[in-house]
């Protein structure tokens, strides 16, 4: 292709042309909004590192959900913070716990919404790790599986449409699938956090969910950021164990992994634009260093272009509102 026959600027010369030939689309239905519910709260508690987001009482969380739903966001990902934490995260399987109560309330207010729950112990354990701990402080893999299974069952029984294990223990997708099937919940899909990297970008979330580890870090179970081939192993295992959808997390710094997932697996691929990615754009926007709205939309379009079908993002409601105005 040679100049002057080819002038790529021709198709950029007007907004009408740009709209006509844009390859990637972003729609409200691609966006999933995370919501935090905390047991024992009487009113929402703003999360200082995540402007616009709060921890909600289970009975009130329908408020932000309804507001987002009105803008076209139909799908929510719920994180629970229990009143009492212990070494094995016992509250995670409580049928009257914060997630079951939130599910019932959300279902009543938004009967057609898709409700996904995060399945992981870190918000429920006193030590903040995603699994149970052995004598030497190691995070035990196989011993943790039963706790995750019970948590997933508890959520599914309470009406979760989809369960999303985020703990990164080996074998948990298969264990959860088998347990759901045994209870006759053959049609409850699993959205697996398959390629989840040990990331500095989870910082604000750990404030939101009070889930920072009290010792050590998550590097013995979450992935090393340098590894792409290993991400294929993780995703293949989860796919083979019965995951219906695979997730890559974080999103922005791992766009190559999203593309790898898209090109390798025929199932839907989700990407999680995590708290740090959100807060950075918010902070730079608040300082007037970038155009926050434009940066938000560009970051989301980039994740879609990389190959994500679905994006879990704290911008879901704001972005859906912008898309609605444009439509
Ligand atoms: C639980 C979990 C985490 C996030 C989602 N599920 C935190 C972590 O692994 O430390 C992070 C989400 C975010 O940063 O927005 N394991």
pLDDT, tens digit, 9 for 90 and up, residues 186-243: 999 999 999 999 999 999 999 899 999 999 999 999 999 999 999 999 999 999 999 9
Task: Name the pLDDT band for 14 (thresholds 50, 70, 90).
Answer: very high
CA distance 293 to 261: 28
Q: Which atom, in ligand 1's list, is nearest to the CA of 168?
A: 16
* ∠ CA 320-323-326, rounded to 5°: 155
Rounded CA separation 314/292 (Å):
13
Strand ranges for 210-308 from DSSP E: 245-249, 269-273
* Percent of the chain predicted with pLDDT > 70: 100
State the distance from the centre of ligand 1 to the C-alpha of 21, rounded, in angstroms. 36
Assigned token pair, 46? 């703003």
Residues with catalytic annotation? 196, 249
Average pLDDT for 44-67: 98
Residue 4, domain member (yes or no): no
Domain containing 43: what range? 27-326
Report phi then psi at 313, rounded to 5. Answer: -150, 140
The tally of domains found in the chain comes to 1
Assess if residue 21 is contained within a domain.
no
Question: Pocket residues for ligand 1 (CB within 6 Å)?
Answer: 118, 120, 122, 130, 166, 202, 205-206, 211, 218, 274-275
Those residues with Cβ within 8 angstroms of residue 293's Cβ, 6 or more apart along the chain or in another chain: 285, 318, 322
Say yes or no to pLDDT of 62 above 90: yes
- 169 C-alpha to ligand 1 centroid (Å): 14
Task: Classify residue 9: in a domain, yes or no.
Answer: no
Half-sphere exposure of 206 (CA within 13 A, CB side): 19
In a domain, 1, yes or no: no
| Nearby residues of 193 by Cβ (< 8 Å), 6 or more positions away | 164, 165, 166, 167, 168, 247, 249, 272
Q: Let me know if residue 183 belongs to a domain.
A: yes
pTM of the model: 0.97
327 pLDDT more than 90: no
Taking only the tens place, the pLDDT of each residue in 265-323 is: 999 999 999 999 999 999 999 999 999 999 999 999 999 999 999 999 999 999 999 99
Q: Is residue 15 part of a domain?
A: no
Residue-level pLDDT at 201: 98
Tell how far the Cα of 146 is from the centroid of ligand 1, in angstroms.
20
| Beta bridge partners of residue 311, listed in sequence order | 31, 271
Residue 203 counted as domain residue: yes
CATH number of 310's domain? 3.20.20.70
Nearest to 221 by CA among 140, 150, 145: 140
pLDDT interval class at 326 (50, 70, 90): confident
As a whole number, mean pLDDT of residues 39-58 equals 98
Residue 150 domain-assigned? yes
């Amino acid at each position: 292709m040679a100049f002057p026959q080819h002038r790529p600027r021709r198709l950029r010369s007007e907004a009408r042309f740009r709209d006509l030939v844009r390859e990637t689309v972003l729609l409200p239905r691609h966006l999933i909004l995370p919501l935090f519910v905390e047991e024992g709260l009487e009113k929402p508690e703003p999360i200082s590192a995540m402007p616009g987001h709060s921890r909600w009482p289970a009975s009130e969380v329908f408020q932000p959900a309804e507001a987002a739903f009105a803008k076209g966001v139909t799908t929510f990902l719920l994180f629970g913070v229990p009143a009492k934490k212990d070494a094995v995260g016992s509250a995670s399987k409580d049928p009257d716990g914060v997630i079951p109560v939130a599910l019932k309330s959300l279902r009543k207010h938004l009967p057609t919404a898709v409700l996904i729950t995060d399945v992981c112990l870190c918000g429920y354990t006193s030590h903040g790790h995603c699994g149970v701990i052995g004598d030497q402080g190691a995070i035990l893999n196989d011993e943790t599986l039963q706790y995750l299974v019970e948590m997933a069952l508890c959520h599914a029984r309470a009406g979760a449409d989809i369960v999303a294990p985020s703990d990164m223990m080996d074998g948990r997708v298969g264990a959860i699938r088998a347990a759901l099937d045994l209870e006759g919940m053959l049609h409850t899909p699993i959205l697996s956090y398959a390629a989840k990297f040990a990331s500095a970008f989870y910082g604000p979330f750990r404030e939101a969910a009070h889930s920072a580890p009290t010792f050590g870090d998550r590097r013995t179970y979450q992935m090393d950021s340098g590894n792409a081939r290993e991400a294929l192993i993780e995703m293949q295992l989860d796919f083979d164990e019965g995951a219906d959808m695979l997730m890559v997390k974080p999103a922005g710094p791992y766009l190559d992994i999203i593309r790898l997932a898209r090109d390798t697996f025929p199932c839907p691929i989700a990407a999680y634009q995590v708290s740090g990615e959100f807060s950075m754009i918010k902070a730079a926007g608040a300082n007037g260093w970038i155009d926050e709205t434009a940066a938000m939309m560009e970051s989301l379009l980039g994740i879609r272009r990389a190959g994500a079908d679905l994006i879990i993002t704290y911008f879901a409601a704001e972005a859906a509102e912008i898309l609605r105005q444009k439509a």
